[in-house]
C-alpha cells in the first residue's frame, strides 16, 4: 500500500493530478413529506439518490467531464432521517485509477430550525467511470491526497478496490466452474 498515488497506480497519463479539495462538494436538501416511507421517516432511496447526485458531481468535477456510476459499495444508514431535517451530503474523490474514481460520501442531518450540530446518518462509497461523448472510458487525473485523513482514505479505497476485484473474480470463477459441470444459472 502506498501513501501517495504513483504513475504505476495510474497507468501512464499526461493529465496533471488534482488535489482532493479541488472537487470536494456538499449538497444540502430539506426533507419533506414527499420523501417519506411507510414508517414516516425519509426513504432510504431518497438518501441514496442524494448520495449518487453528490458523488456524480464530484466525479464530474474531478474528471473534467461526464462520469457514470459503476457501483455503490457499503451504503450504511446509521440513523433515521425525519421530515424537516436539513440533510448535508459531503463527497470527495478518495482514489483514482486510469479511468475510474472512488468517491466517499458522508450524510449528515440536522433539524432545519435548530442550531444543534449535524449528526452523521449515513455513508457510502461509489465507483465512477469517466466517459467521453461516445460513452467510452477516458483517462482521469490522479487524485493528490492533501491531508493525513485524505491519505488514509486513499489507502482504505485501495483495500476496497482489491476486495471488489477479488470478489468479482471469485464469482466469475465459480460460475465458469458450474457451467463446466453442466449447471445452468
**pLDDT grade for 74, boundaries at 50, 70 and 90:** confident
Residue among 102, 117, 121, 103 nearest 46 (CA): 121
What pLDDT is stored for residue 8 in this prediction?
40
**pLDDT grade for 185, boundaries at 50, 70 and 90:** low
C-alpha cell at 43: 426513504
pLDDT digits (tens, 9 = 90+) for 113-134: 998 999 999 999 999 999 999 9
pLDDT digits (tens, 9 = 90+) for 12-57: 457 899 999 999 999 999 999 999 999 999 999 999 999 999 999 9
138 touches 11 (CB < 8 A): no
Distant-in-sequence, close-in-space partners of 36: CB < 8 Å, separation ≥ 6 = 42, 43, 83
Amino acid at each position: 500500500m502506498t501513501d501517495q498515488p504513483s504513475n504505476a497506480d495510474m497507468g501512464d497519463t499526461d493529465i496533471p493530478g488534482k488535489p482532493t479539495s479541488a472537487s470536494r462538494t456538499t449538497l444540502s436538501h430539506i426533507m419533506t413529506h414527499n420523501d417519506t416511507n411507510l414508517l414516516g421517516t425519509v426513504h432510504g432511496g431518497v438518501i441514496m439518490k442524494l448520495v449518487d447526485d453528490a458523488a456524480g458531481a464530484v466525479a464530474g468535477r474531478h474528471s473534467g467531464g461526464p462520469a457514470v456510476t459503476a457501483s455503490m459499495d457499503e451504503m450504511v444508514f446509521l440513523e433515521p432521517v425525519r421530515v424537516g431535517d436539513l440533510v448535508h451530503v459531503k463527497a470527495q474523490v478518495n482514489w483514482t485509477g486510469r479511468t475510474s474514481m472512488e468517491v466517499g460520501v458522508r450524510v449528515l442531518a440536522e433539524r432545519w430550525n435548530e442550531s444543534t450540530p449535524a449528526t452523521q446518518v449515513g455513508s457510502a462509497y461509489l465507483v465512477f467511470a469517466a466517459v467521453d461523448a461516445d460513452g467510452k472510458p477516458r483517462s482521469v487525473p490522479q487524485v493528490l491526497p492533501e491531508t493525513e485523513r485524505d491519505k488514509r482514505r486513499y489507502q482504505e479505497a485501495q483495500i476496497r478496490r482489491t476486495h471488489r476485484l477479488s470478489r468479482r473474480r471469485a464469482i466469475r470463477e465459480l460460475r465458469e466452474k458450474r457451467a463446466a459441470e453442466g449447471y445452468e444459472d
